[in-house]
Structure 1
Amino acid sequence: MSFFNFRTQGIAIDLGTANFLMIFEDRVVVDEPAVIAFNRTTGATIAVGRKAEQMEGKEHENIRIIRPLKNGVIADFHAAEHMMRGMLKLANNGKGMFSPSYRMLICVPSGITEVEKRAIRDSAMIAGAKDVYLVHEPVAAAIGIGLDVQDATGHMIVDIGGGTTEIAVIALSGIVCDQSIRVAGDNFNADIIHHVRRQHNIHIGASMAEKIKLEVGAALPELQDPPLDFAIKGRDLMSGLPKQVMVSYQEVAYYLDKSITKIEEAILKTLEITPPELSSDIHHSGIFLTGGGALLRGLDKRIASRTKLPVHVADEPLLSVVKGTAIALKKIDEFRFLMR
Structure 2
Amino acid sequence: MAATDIGIDLGTASILVYLKGKGVVLKEPSVVAFDRDTNKIKAIGEEARLMLGRTPGNIVAVRPLRQGVISDYTVTEKMIKYFIQKALGKRTYRKPRMSVCVPSGVTEVEKRAVEDAAYAAGAREVYIIEEPIAAAIGAGIDISRPCGNMIVDIGGGTADIAVISLGGSVVSTSIKVAGDNFDEALVRYMRKKHNLLIGERTAEDMKINIGTCYPLSTPETMNVRGRNLVTGLPKTIEVSSEETEEALREPTAQIVEAVHSVLEKTPPELAADVADRGIILTGGGALLRGLEELMEERTGINTMTAEDPMTCVAIGTGKYVEFMAGNHDLSQP
The bucket for the TM-score relative to the shorter chain is over 0.9
| Cα distance in 1 for residues equivalent to 2:311 and 2:18 | 10
The reply on whether 1:32 has 2:32 as its aligned counterpart is no
| Cα distance in 1 for residues equivalent to 2:229 and 2:94 | 51
| Cα distance in 2 for residues equivalent to 1:153 and 1:308 | 20
Of 250, 259, 275, 1:283 maps to 275
The reply on whether 1:217 has 2:211 as its aligned counterpart is yes
| Cα distance in 2 for residues equivalent to 1:128 and 1:100 | 9
CA drift at 1:172: 0.9
| Cα distance in 1 for residues equivalent to 2:132 and 2:238 | 37
| 8 Å contact kept, 2:225–2:236 | yes
| Cα distance in 2 for residues equivalent to 1:171 and 1:65 | 41
Which string of whole-angstrom CA distances, capped at 9 and with x for unpartnered residues, describes residues 35-94 of structure 1? Answer: 11111111111110000000111111121211111111111101101111221232245x
> Counterparts in 2 of 1:52-67, with a 5 A limit?
52-67=48-63
One-letter code of the match for 1:20?
A: I
| Cα distance in 2 for residues equivalent to 1:252 and 1:99 | 50
| Cα distance in 2 for residues equivalent to 1:19 and 1:161 | 9
| Cα distance in 2 for residues equivalent to 1:327 and 1:26 | 11
Structure 2: which 5+ residue stretches go unaligned?
Answer: 329-333
Equivalent residue for 2:113?
A: 119
Which string of whole-angstrom CA distances, capped at 9 and with x for unpartnered residues, describes residues 182-214 of structure 1? Answer: 000000000000110111111110000000000
Which string of whole-angstrom CA distances, capped at 9 and with x for unpartnered residues, describes residues 20-48 of structure 1? Answer: 00011322221000011111111111110
| Cα distance in 1 for residues equivalent to 2:228 and 2:94 | 51
Structure 1: which 5+ residue stretches go unaligned?
Answer: none
| Cα distance in 1 for residues equivalent to 2:188 and 2:69 | 25
3-state SS of paired residue (1:151): coil
The reply on whether 1:73 has 2:69 as its aligned counterpart is yes
TM-score, length-normalised on structure 1? 0.93
The reply on whether 1:43 has 2:39 as its aligned counterpart is yes
| 8 Å contact kept, 1:110–1:180 | yes
| Cα distance in 2 for residues equivalent to 1:89 and 1:46 | 17
3-state SS of paired residue (1:332): helix
The reply on whether 1:172 has 2:157 as its aligned counterpart is no
3-state SS of paired residue (1:43): coil
| Cα distance in 2 for residues equivalent to 1:141 and 1:98 | 28
TM-score, length-normalised on structure 2? 0.95
| Cα distance in 2 for residues equivalent to 1:14 and 1:27 | 13
| 8 Å contact kept, 1:100–1:128 | no
The reply on whether 1:273 has 2:260 as its aligned counterpart is no
Q: Compare 298-307 and 84-93 and name the one that shifted more.
A: 84-93
One-letter code of the match for 2:118?
A: A
Q: Compare 83-92 and 136-145 and name the one that shifted more.
A: 83-92
| 8 Å contact kept, 1:328–1:335 | no
The reply on whether 1:131 has 2:125 as its aligned counterpart is yes
Distance change (3 Å), C-alpha of 1:332 and 1:227: farther
Equivalent residue for 2:187?
A: 193
Equivalent residue for 1:184?
A: 178
| 8 Å contact kept, 1:84–1:127 | yes
| 8 Å contact kept, 1:37–1:46 | yes
Distance change (3 Å), C-alpha of 1:108 and 1:268: same
| Cα distance in 2 for residues equivalent to 1:100 and 1:80 | 22
The reply on whether 1:326 has 2:318 as its aligned counterpart is yes
| 8 Å contact kept, 2:156–2:284 | yes
Any runs of at least 4 consecutive aligned residues in structure 1 with deviations exceeding 4 A, and if so which?
Answer: 97-100
How many residues of Structure 1 are paired with residues of Structure 2 in the alignment? 327
After superposition, the CA RMSD in angstroms is 1.4
3-state SS of paired residue (1:38): strand
Which string of whole-angstrom CA distances, capped at 9 and with x for unpartnered residues, describes residues 275-331 of structure 1? Answer: 001011111101000111111111101100100110011110001111111221223
| Cα distance in 2 for residues equivalent to 1:282 and 1:85 | 39
One-letter code of the match for 2:60?
A: R
Distance change (3 Å), C-alpha of 1:288 and 1:41: same
Identity of aligned residues (%): 44
3-state SS of paired residue (1:80): helix
| 8 Å contact kept, 1:183–1:262 | yes
Q: Compare 231-240 and 24-33 and name the one that shifted more.
A: 24-33
| 8 Å contact kept, 2:3–2:94 | no
One-letter code of the match for 2:272?
A: S
Equivalent residue for 1:18?
A: 13
